[in-house]
């Protein structure tokens, strides 16, 4: 099965990637839907997902964020068919080990948005950093290190999108949040953007096709 929010996110991301890029990404929606709704085990679905990207290198930029969506779909749908304690089993530990270098910080953000939806909360950057990621807690210093550029520039949620663009350019190339910095910050500025708002975000984007695809994923999960 495929989670309805994940299905919407896939469609929205492909539409944005096509609109702001030069590839007909929307034509591959059915291929992705087939992977996500497959009854195969998780690692087989990872292979199926990779095959779609291997066959369509023009979409390569979306590979790891779609892996995040596959993981979210697993937590939302696939896990219902498994034992209650599946996420505590050696089998799942093995999967985590095999996929350590996969995905992005988008996964944490999507988990947070699901939690906001469950608790009827409006997403806020400070809440995400301090209450969800616990970046101020001593035992979560890895998260603090990863999100350092975001923590240092929280004021951007009150700034024009052009300022977010300027700061995004200063984030170190090896930062784990570099690519996500612009869409993440512009989302927290305005979790319910109008079409005009989206156009302004697009006009100031660092990488239009990728940034707008990620923004649309976040908005569709909101």
Residue range 207-213: average pLDDT? 98
The pLDDT value recorded for residue 80 is: 75
Q: Where are the domains of the chain?
A: 1-103, 104-207
Distances (CA, A) of 132 to 70, 124, 135, 190: 21, 11, 8, 19
Q: State the pLDDT confidence band at 83, using cuts at 50, 70 and 90.
A: confident
What digits encode the pLDDT tens for the residues 90-130?
988 999 999 999 999 999 999 999 999 999 999 999 999 99
What digits encode the pLDDT tens for the residues 57-77?
999 999 999 999 999 999 888
**For residues 142 and 122, what is the distance between their CA atoms, to the nearest angstrom?**
26
Contact residues for 81 (Cβ-Cβ < 8 A; gap 6+): none
Conformation bin of residue 103: beta by default, left when phi > 0, alpha when psi is -120 to 50: left
Give the chain's radius of gyration (CA, Å): 17
Q: State the pLDDT confidence band at 222, using cuts at 50, 70 and 90.
A: confident
């Amino acid at each position: 099965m495929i989670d309805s929010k994940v299905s919407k996110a896939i469609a929205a991301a492909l539409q944005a990637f096509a609109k702001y890029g030069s590839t007909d990404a929307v034509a591959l929606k059915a291929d992705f839907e087939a992977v996500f709704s497959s009854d195969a085990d998780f690692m087989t679905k990872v292979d199926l997902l990779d095959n779609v990207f291997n066959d369509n290198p023009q979409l390569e930029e979306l590979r790891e964020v779609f892996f995040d969506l596959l993981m979210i779909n697993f937590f939302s749908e696939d896990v219902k068919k498994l034992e209650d304690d599946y996420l505590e089993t050696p089998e799942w530990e093995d999967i985590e080990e095999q996929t350590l270098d996969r995905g992005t910080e988008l996964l944490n953000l999507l988990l947070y948005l699901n939690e906001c939806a469950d608790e009827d909360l409006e997403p806020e950057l400070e809440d995400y950093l301090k209450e969800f990621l616990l970046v101020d807690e001593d035992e979560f210093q890895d998260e603090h290190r990863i999100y350092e550029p975001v923590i240092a520039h929280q004021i951007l949620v009150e700034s024009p999108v052009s300022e977010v663009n300027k700061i995004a350019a200063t984030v170190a190339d090896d930062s784990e949040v570099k690519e996500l910095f612009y869409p993440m910050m512009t989302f927290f500025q305005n979790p319910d953007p109008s079409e005009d708002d989206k156009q302004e975000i697009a006009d100031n984007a660092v990488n239009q096709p990728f940034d707008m695809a990620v923004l649309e994923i976040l908005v569709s999960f909101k």
